[in-house]
């Protein structure tokens, strides 16, 4: 069968750089860091005392307080970004066939704050008998954001969550892409959200020695591809794309940001948390995405890398890029949004997809900030264009976005300038 074409017609973002897409994009291309001291809880006894938190989020701008109390913060972020994306898409919901509109929306962790609060309350009151909030389970589970979005709009199409650690929302986008091009839906609202800046979230990653401990300078702590990088910076928020079958979008006169032309998946099959040192899974996932898009490596202009600022991960991704793209690797722009947003875990793929889409739309490559060390770093060859410290204007016809998750889960999406 002939596969249908899939385009992006709506975007929504809640990030440490801004609570809507225009704010996020402006701060991203201006190289603004979203990092600062943790305010969600007292982190004074933790090895890491900073994160990239969402600022000034008011859930009542999106839903009433009574409904919000039934949701963990991660689901509140999901509702917010879905509303922005659907509004941005211009969909006339009342006159659409809502059996052909779906929601595929994931979280790597889900309602961890709810879990912590309920277990803590139980421990404090156990002598009086078990007491749990009746909304404990539906607030905690990682699929509930997808359910809440579908309930809010009455979307009866495909509806589920993906969970693949930090590759979660790229998997959600890829699943949506495949269902639409197979004719299973006209429109799918897709993405991911996360809200894991909690004692257990920070403490757990600290115990693994995964987080930066640069407490004296949070804004410069996320420094992908720099010799002094010492771990990632945790972020939070959400991202949402409205993906739509091309003819359906054209028939309603929708604006089109870009075309999603290919996705790829792979498994490292190597380690619980570390990426393969030679970038095996990263090589496979990029090759698989290019094959799916029926594109050659030479057609890609920009790679929004996973680039978490970890000692091993950054090196392995560079090795993979050089292997897949060969001589063309030196003509690419490469950058890591995480240098500014921190690592949004399950939401990273969707937020970085938005960065990639807007790079294609606006012909601007966001920077990798906080780079100070150059040739003295022997671990990474600086002969590639990492777009250090300042955004770069260039024609971006095609952008590729990488996400890699604990467990060896790898996912990749390729976006192209829309043309008839």
Active-site pick, 276, 343, 371, 409: 343
What CA–CA distances, in Å, run from 206 to 50, 147, 199, 339, 344? 12, 32, 10, 19, 16
The yes-or-no verdict on residue 68 having pLDDT over 50 is yes
Nearest in space to 107 (alpha carbons), one of 58, 165, 184? 165
DSSP symbols for 176-230 = HHHHHHTTS-SEEEEEEEE---SHHHHHHHHHTT-B---TT-GGGT--TT-TT--
3-state secondary structure of 398: strand
Nearest in space to 51 (alpha carbons), one of 194, 172, 163? 194
Q: Where are the alpha helices (DSSP H) in 11-135?
A: 21-29, 65-68, 73-89, 112-125
pLDDT in tens, 260-277: 999 999 999 999 988 888
Q: pTM of the predicted model, to two decimals?
A: 0.97
Q: Band of the pLDDT at 375, cuts 50, 70, 90? A: very low
Which residues 6+ apart lie within 8 Å of 208 measured at CB? Answer: 273
Q: Band of the pLDDT at 40, cuts 50, 70, 90? A: very high
Q: What is the pLDDT of residue 378?
A: 56
pLDDT in tens, 155-203: 999 999 999 999 999 999 999 999 999 999 999 999 999 999 999 999 9
Q: Which structure tokens are listed for 125?
A: 């009151």
> Do residues 259 and 177 make contact, with C-beta atoms less than 8 angstroms apart?
no
Q: Band of the pLDDT at 12, cuts 50, 70, 90? A: very high
**Is residue 371 among the annotated active site residues?**
no
Q: Band of the pLDDT at 1, cuts 50, 70, 90? A: confident
Share of the chain above pLDDT 90, in %: 91
pLDDT in tens, 132-145: 999 999 999 999 99
Give the pLDDT mean for 71-89: 98
Active-site pick, 248, 276, 306, 409: 306
Q: Which structure tokens are listed for 304?
A: 């929004």
First to last CA, the chain: 21
> Do residues 367 and 256 make contact, with C-beta atoms less than 8 angstroms apart?
no
Residue entry with tokens 């990639």: 356
The dotted CATH code for 6-416 is 3.40.47.10
Q: Band of the pLDDT at 380, cuts 50, 70, 90? A: low
**Is residue 163 among the annotated active site residues?**
no
Active-site pick, 52, 163, 166, 240: 166
């Amino acid at each position: 069968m002939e596969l249908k074409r899939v385009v992006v017609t709506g975007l929504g973002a809640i990030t440490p750089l801004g609570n809507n897409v225009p704010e996020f994009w402006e701060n991203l291309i201006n190289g603004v860091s979203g990092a600062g001291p943790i305010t969600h809880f007292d982190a004074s006894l933790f090895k890491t005392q900073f994160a990239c938190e969402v600022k000034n989020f008011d859930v009542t701008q999106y839903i009433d307080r009574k409904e919000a109390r039934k949701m963990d913060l991660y689901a509140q972020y999901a509702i917010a970004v879905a509303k922005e994306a659907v509004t941005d898409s211009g969909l006339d919901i009342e006159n659409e066939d809502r059996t052909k509109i779906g929601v595929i929306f994931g979280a790597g962790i889900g309602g961890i704050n709810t879990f912590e609060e309920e277990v803590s309350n139980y421990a404090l009151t156990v002598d009086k008998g078990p007491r749990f909030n009746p909304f404990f389970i539906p607030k905690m589970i990682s699929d509930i954001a997808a359910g809440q979005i579908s309930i809010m709009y009455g979307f009866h199409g495909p509806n589920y969550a993906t969970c693949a650690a930090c590759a979660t929302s790229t998997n959600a986008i890829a699943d949506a892409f495949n269902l639409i091009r197979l004719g299973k839906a006209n429109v799918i609202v897709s993405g991911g959200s996360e809200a894991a800046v909690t004692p257990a979230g920070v403490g757990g990653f600290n115990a693994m020695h995964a987080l930066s401990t640069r407490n004296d300078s949070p804004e410069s702590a996320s420094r992908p591809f720099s010799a002094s990088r010492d771990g990632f910076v945790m972020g939070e928020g959400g991202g949402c794309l409205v993906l739509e079958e091309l003819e359906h979008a054209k028939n309603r006169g929708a604006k089109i940001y870009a075309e999603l032309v290919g996705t790829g998946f792979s498994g490292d099959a190597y380690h619980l948390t570390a990426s393969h040192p030679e970038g095996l899974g990263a090589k496979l996932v990029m090759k698989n995405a290019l094959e799916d898009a029926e594109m050659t490596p030479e057609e890609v202009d920009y790679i929004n890398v996973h680039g978490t600022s970890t000692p091993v991960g950054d090196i392995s991704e560079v090795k993979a890029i050089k292997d897949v793209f060969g001589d063309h690797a030196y003509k690419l722009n490469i950058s890591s949004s995480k240098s500014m947003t921190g690592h949004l875990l399950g939401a990273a793929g969707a937020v970085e997809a938005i960065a990639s889409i807007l790079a294609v739309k606006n012909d601007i490559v966001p920077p990798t900030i906080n780079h100070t060390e150059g040739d003295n770093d022997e671990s990474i060859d600086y002969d590639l264009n990492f777009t250090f410290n300042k955004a770069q204007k260039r024609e971006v016809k095609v952008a590729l976005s990488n996400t890699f998750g604990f467990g060896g889960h790898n996912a990749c999406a390729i976006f192209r300038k829309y043309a008839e």
